[in-house]
Amino acid sequence: DAGITQSPRHKVTETGTPVTLRCHQTENHRYMYWYRQDPGHGLRLIHYSYGVKDTDKGEVSDGYSVSRSKTEDFLLTLESATSSQTSVYFCAIRPGGRVAGGGEQYFGPGTRLTVT
Amino acid sequence: GENVEQHPSTLSVQEGDSAVIKCTYSDSASNYFPWYKQELGKRPQLIIDIRSNVGEKKDQRIAVTLNKTAKHFSLHITETQPEDSAVYFCAGGAQKLVFGQGTRLTINP
């Protein structure tokens, strides 16, 4: 499973509260990604990181922020959770990380977040 | 940006028959096209991928074809088995991937 863990695995929170999800990897991969998965939408990229302190937005970044202060951890924060952010969140890593080309991504086990 | 469309959304085949799932993409700069299989409650698992400099790739019962001119790629599963039942996702891109909406494949015994 490419040494990826996510925490927490399940969380229920109330609208308006901040929430932070953690993705941890053990193999020093440069690229890390956060996706959300909703019925009928497949997987949609929220943010990704290509190195410590280097991050960029994905297609559904509004309402989310990320931080990567060390190689092994990529944090996703919902500053003020809303019901529309109820989803399953997957972290992914990309081994190798060639700058110019795409490469395989491996997913963590996911976090199921419910915002009431 | 990239847009990936996947068809069909559901597919039901008899065990032993073949299954084909098709995807189209919009960005000619995309150079990497993976396919993922996701079982209920599990994470997506990479099953096969293809790069833009290759037209076809095969791994046992699974094959992927890519037509760069037409901007479409397909997943072919032969001799389907009950354990092939799952949701399959295509994706396209480079540094970032855009995923299709998924195909729920059901193998009927």
Which tens digits make up the pLDDT trace of B19-35? 999 999 999 999 999 99
Q: Which residues of B touch A100 (CB under 8 A)?
A: 94
Between β-strands B103-108 and B10-14, what pairing exists: parallel, antiparallel or unpaired? Answer: parallel
What phi and psi values does residue A60 have, to the nearest 5 degrees?
A: -130, 55
Name the minimum distance, in Å, from the CA of B108 to any CA of chain A.
23
Question: Tell me, what's the pLDDT at B75?
Answer: 98
- Whether residue A96 is predicted with pLDDT greater than 80 in this model: the reply is no
Which amino acid does the sequence have at A71? T
Question: Tell me, what's the pLDDT at B87?
Answer: 97
Chain-chain contact of B101 with A40 (C-beta, under 8 angstroms): yes
At A99, the pLDDT band (50, 70, 90 cuts) reads: low
- Whether residue A97 is predicted with pLDDT greater than 90 in this model: the reply is no
Nearest to B90 by CA among B5, B18, B8, B28: B5
Average pLDDT over residues A10-23: 98
- Whether residue B108 is predicted with pLDDT greater than 60 in this model: the reply is yes
Across chain B, what does the average pLDDT equal? Answer: 96
Average pLDDT over residues B54-63: 95
Is A109 touching B (CB cutoff 8 A)?
yes
What phi and psi values does residue A18 have, to the nearest 5 degrees?
A: -80, 145
Q: Which residues of B touch A43 (CB under 8 A)?
A: 44, 89, 91, 99
- Whether residue A42 is predicted with pLDDT greater than 60 in this model: the reply is yes
Interface residue of B96, B101, B103, B104 to substitute, partner A, most A CBs within 10 Å: B96
Let me know: does A1 contact A93? Beta carbons within 8 Å: no
- Whether residue A101 is predicted with pLDDT greater than 90 in this model: the reply is no
Is A106 touching B (CB cutoff 8 A)?
yes
Is A99 touching B (CB cutoff 8 A)?
yes
Question: Tell me, what's the pLDDT at A40?
Answer: 79
Average pLDDT over residues A60-85: 97
Which amino acid does the sequence have at A5? T
At B95, the pLDDT band (50, 70, 90 cuts) reads: confident
Is A60 touching B (CB cutoff 8 A)?
no
Question: Tell me, what's the pLDDT at A26?
Answer: 94
Let me know: does A54 contact A35? Beta carbons within 8 Å: no
Quote the percentage of chain A above a pLDDT of 70: 94
